[in-house]
Structure 1
Amino acid sequence: MDIMDFLHYCQVEKGLSQNTVQSYQRDLKHYIVSLEKAGVSKTADVERRHILDYLHAKKEEGRTTATLSRYLSTIRAYHQFALRDGKTTKDPSELIETPKKSRKLPSVLTSQEVDRLLEASKGTTAFSRRNHAMLELMYATGLRVTELCELKSGDVHLEMGFVQCLGKGNKERIVPLGKVAAEAVETYAGNGRFELMKQKRHDTLFVNHHGNPLSRQGFWKILKGAAEKAGIEKPLTPHTLRHSFATHLLENGADLRAVQEMLGHTDISTTQIYTHVSTHKLKDVYLHYHPRA
């Protein structure tokens, strides 16, 4: 059972990111192993029960509802492609209901915690200037970590105050950039990046100690180090800064549609989860300050 045509379709025709395509490949690899164990070697021979058996086995292994939902989404995309491509005459995933997942409120930092985190990343070395610029830029724009790491020097327009980035599905968007973050990026670009480049030739903005583009894992280490230095003990991921960016904007009166545009969400329902976070904070304020709460 060959999935390479499907992966090529996802990357070239649909324009999905490399990370998404790799995720599809990993998920389908496990799915195909399961089918082969069941004696199924052709896509056309897959039946609804085979998919249900696979999902049930994964649930027994302790996979979360969100993960099961992702598995089914990948499987469904593959079978729909196979149907269109003439590899089969049916889609066995068509009538399988997507597992209902509860939407957890994202973890966010308070404004004070963000201040501590950004202050802790300051320094005069090339590494410190890079780290501080990345954290300031992520909180100022709400970029995804992959978008941040893939930024080119020409994508950040400091004087005009905006960032161009390529998001999911290769969709470009423009995000405003505040003065503080712009100054941090300018300091790094002028007094840090050249030192780290080590005569390498490329235009990726943020680089590691070898002069190569910084990876997502590299940024994770930067964030973890700054959090430890700032004394922040709550669970913290690169996405936490993106969540904090959106939540703080809405708490201060930003329009939901504008936040949706800045985050690059296709569906506004994805953005609406941040309104629940803001409402949750309002309830905390009420309980703390109302005399009869």
Structure 2
Amino acid sequence: MKEGKARVLNEKEFSRVVNTARRYAHAKRNVALLYFSHGLGLRAKEMASLKVRNVQDEDGQIIEEITLSREMTKGAKQRCAYLTSPKIIVAIRDYLDERLEIEGALFSLDAALFKSQKGSAFTPNTMQQLFHRLYDVARLPGASSHSGRRTFATNLIEKGVDIKAVSTLMGHSSIAMTAQYVEDNPRRLKQISSEIF
């Protein structure tokens, strides 16, 4: 890990933080947040800005395409995130079902998707603090709210997704910016080198 950059988590470390989150208060919310961060590459500000209606329609169905408006993103650049991964869908469905059960008739599509302990919307700063606590309890030093974005980009590149597509999913204006997010994996580099001839 380079100095000053958020830690990229491997599969085992991601499982560790998810399993740790499941043992504490607000487990379903925190698991959904971890999946949104690592599986959709969302920033803390973007997750804090989401409303229930961004992910669920009036019939209670999960919406596959999340539109992140200019106000929600860094650099005022609108983009889409795709809620199509079965694991992410299960995590958000579990959380929304719990919210509906607790809030009943007060449950609203216009409410913040992720509510803080006090029942209000997170600010970008309180969202970052929550991620810091989750990683701290899971004993993952160097991990922060930005770890999910860096892990998301690195995993896509390692799976062979072209950097232009990754750049679009990340909402970057240049491929050079996306390249800065990707962690070089020595195993992957050895594999690439072994396949030259």
Which bracket does the TM-score occupy, shorter chain normalised?
A: 0.7 to 0.9
Q: Does 1:270 align with 2:196?
A: no
- For 2:115, the aligned partner's letter is V
Q: Structure 1 residues 105 and 189, CA, compared in 2 at 3 Å: closer, same or farther?
A: closer
Aligned to 1:170: 76
1:212-249 Cα offsets, whole Å, 9 max, x none, are: 101233323332332233232x2111011110111011
- 5+ residue gaps, structure 2, are none
> 1:21-50 deviations in whole A, cap 9, x for unaligned?
xxxxxxxxxxxxxxxxxxxxxxxxxxxxxx
Q: How does 1:162-241 map to 2 (within 5 A)?
A: 162-166=65-69, 167-177=73-83, 178-192=85-99, 195=102, 202-232=110-140, 234-241=141-148
Q: Secondary structure at the match of 1:174?
A: strand
Q: For residues 149 and 123 of structure 1, do their structure 2 counterparts lie closer, same or farther at Cα, with a shift above 3 Å needed?
A: same
Where does 1:7-26 land on structure 2 (aligned, <5 Å)?
A: none
Instruction: Report what 1:153 is aligned to.
Output: 52
Q: Is the 8 A contact 2:135 2:144 kept in 1?
A: no
CA contact (8 A) 2:7 2:144 kept: no
Give the Cα separation in 1 of the matches to 2:93 and 2:129: 22
Provide the C-alpha distance between the structure 2 equivalents of 1:197 and 1:229, rounded to a whole number of angstroms. Answer: 32
CA distance in 2, matches of 1:183, 1:272: 30
* Alignment check: 8 A CA contact 1:138 1:242 kept: yes
Task: Say which structure is richer in helix.
Answer: 1
Q: 2:81, 2:114 → 1: CA distance?
A: 18
Residue by residue over 1:75-94, the C-alpha shift from the partner in whole angstroms, topping out at 9 and shown as x without a partner, is xxxxxxxxxxxxxxxxxxxx
* Structure 1 residues 224 and 106: CA distance shift in structure 2, 3 A: closer
**1:120 match:** 20
- In the alignment, structure 1 segments of 5+ residues that lack a partner are 1-102
Q: Deviations over 1:159-185 (max 9, x none)?
A: 453322122343321112211111111
Q: Give the 3 Å change call, closer, same or farther, for CA 257–248 of structure 1 in structure 2.
A: same
CA contact (8 A) 2:40 2:152 kept: yes
The whole-number CA distance in structure 1 between the counterparts of 2:142 and 2:4 is: 14
User: Paired residue for 1:246, among 153, 177, 182?
Assistant: 153
Question: Structure 2 vs 1, CA of residues 236 and 279 (structure 1 numbering), >3 Å: closer, same or farther?
Answer: closer
For 1:269 and 1:104, the matched residues in 2 are separated by 18
Quick one: distance in 2 between partners of 1:106 and 1:235? 6
Taking the aligned partners of 2:120 and 2:132, their CA distance within structure 1 comes to 21
Asked if 1:130 is matched to 2:52, the reply is no
- TM-score w.r.t. length of structure 2: 0.77
Return the offset for 1:278.
Answer: 3.1
User: How far, CA to CA, are the matches of 1:225 and 1:130 in structure 2?
Assistant: 14
Q: Distance in 1 between matches of 2:104 and 2:78?
A: 27
Name the amino acid aligned to 1:278.
D
CA contact (8 A) 1:198 1:211 kept: no
Counterpart in the other structure of 2:165: 258
- TM-aligned CA distance change 1:220 to 1:194, over 3 Å: farther
Paired letter, 1:245: F
RMSD between superposed Cα atoms in Å: 3.1
> Match for residue 7 of structure 1?
none
State the one-letter code of the partner of 2:16.
Answer: R
